[in-house]
Amino acid sequence: MEFSVEGKFNLEVNTNEIDSRIAQIRGLALSRLGDTDKLKACFGSIDLTTLNTTDTKKRGRNFAEKVNSFAVDFPEMPNVAAICVYPTLVSAVKENLNVKGVKVASVAAGFPSSQTFLEIKLAECRMAIEQGADEIDVVIPVGSFLEGDLYYVFNEVKQIKEVAGETHVKVILETGALPSLSDIKLASFLSMEGGADFIKTSTGKLEPAATPEAVYVMCTAIKEFYEKTNRRVGIKPAGGVVSSSEALVYYTIVEQVLGSPWLSPDLFRLGASRLANNLLSDIYGRAVSYF
């Protein structure tokens, strides 16, 4: 079945304009490195993540316990937004996490390649939610997208969201595998049309991962989608976001393109495993290795 968002959304991308805006945003972000409030806002948007082949339930419990004690050890800091793990660790995190407001997120649906049968993807999402996941992170079927089967991409996201119901679905575009910024914009609209609550750059398993250019284009798509549907979709730069300066670039892109309503964990996340300690070190002006 043919499917297209052309005519409904603007798929054009002006690379010269994007380069100019990114240069301006980098300058503004650099000037904010000493702004503790903005660094704290970035920290409070982190999805604290462990996605290793060697992960154990003990590691899931330890992650939860670290987050539990963080509010005691750093009472002036916001906590992270979520703990993100594989489906088999969800129950271990859920049973040991006792901090209000911190979500349990699970990758699912054949993560990270999305190369399995739709029925298995739906079952895995359902099972992760049954184990206690508040959010699921799924990857679009990139192969189908590259073959031009846009309806399949849209329909898969739609079916996953139908299974998830009120559980938030973050749809990963794997932007580094898409040929152009125009393709990233198209994938953004397909995912949002399918019901995505967030769109996310990357799994962190491929290079390049998150880039300012990709996130800028995704934010412009989110803005247009909101203007036409009145539905706010969140944005999650993920993959290779390590330093405070990188986090501030993404924070500033969201601020400049989408505005302050998006600058909360409800609509802005940073997918990172090493960023938390680097932000803490820059906030406190000393080396901090808490997580």
Cα 189 to Cα 228: distance, rounded to the nearest angstrom: 12
- The answer to whether residue 290 is domain-embedded is no
Q: What is the average pLDDT across 239-257? A: 96
Q: Sign (positive/negative) of CA torsion 150, 190, 83, 271?
A: positive
Q: What does each C-alpha distance from 248 to 145, 187, 237, 254 come to in angstroms? A: 31, 25, 11, 10
- Residue 28's pLDDT band, with cuts at 50, 70 and 90, is very high
CA distance 37 to 40: 5
Q: Residue 63 domain-assigned? A: no
Residue 47 has pLDDT above 70, yes or no: yes
Specify whether the backbone of 240 is left (phi greater than 0), alpha (psi in -120 to 50) or beta.
left
Number of independent structural domains in the chain: 1
Does 32 score more than 80 pLDDT?
A: yes
Q: For residue 4, what pLDDT band results from cuts at 50, 70 and 90?
A: low
pLDDT at 273: 79
> Which CATH number fits the domain that encloses residue 156?
3.20.20.70
The pLDDT score that the predictor gives to residue 255 is 98
For all residues of the chain together, what is the average pLDDT? 95
- In a domain, residue 73? The reply is no
The three-class DSSP label of residue 46 is strand
Catalytic positions are 137, 200, 236
* pLDDT for the residue numbered 107: 98
Per DSSP, the three-state class of 172 is: strand
* Predicted confidence (pLDDT) at residue 1 exceeds the cutoff of 60: no
Average pLDDT (42-50) is 97
Q: Is residue 291 part of a domain?
A: no
pLDDT for the residue numbered 3 = 60
pLDDT given for residue 162 in this prediction: 98
Range of the domain at 211: 15-35+105-275
pLDDT grade for 272, boundaries at 50, 70 and 90:
confident
Q: Indicate whether 210 belongs to any domain.
A: yes
Average pLDDT over residues 151-167: 97
Task: Determine the pLDDT at residue 7.
Answer: 77
- In a domain, residue 226? The reply is yes
Signed CA dihedral, 214, 217, 219, 221: sign only: negative
In a domain, 67, yes or no: no
- How much is the pLDDT for 264? 96
Asked whether residue 286 is assigned to any structural domain, the reply reads no
Side chain identity at 287, as an amino acid letter?
A
- Percent of residues, the chain, with pLDDT higher than 90: 93
How confident is the model over 108-129, as pLDDT tens digits?
999 999 999 999 999 999 999 9
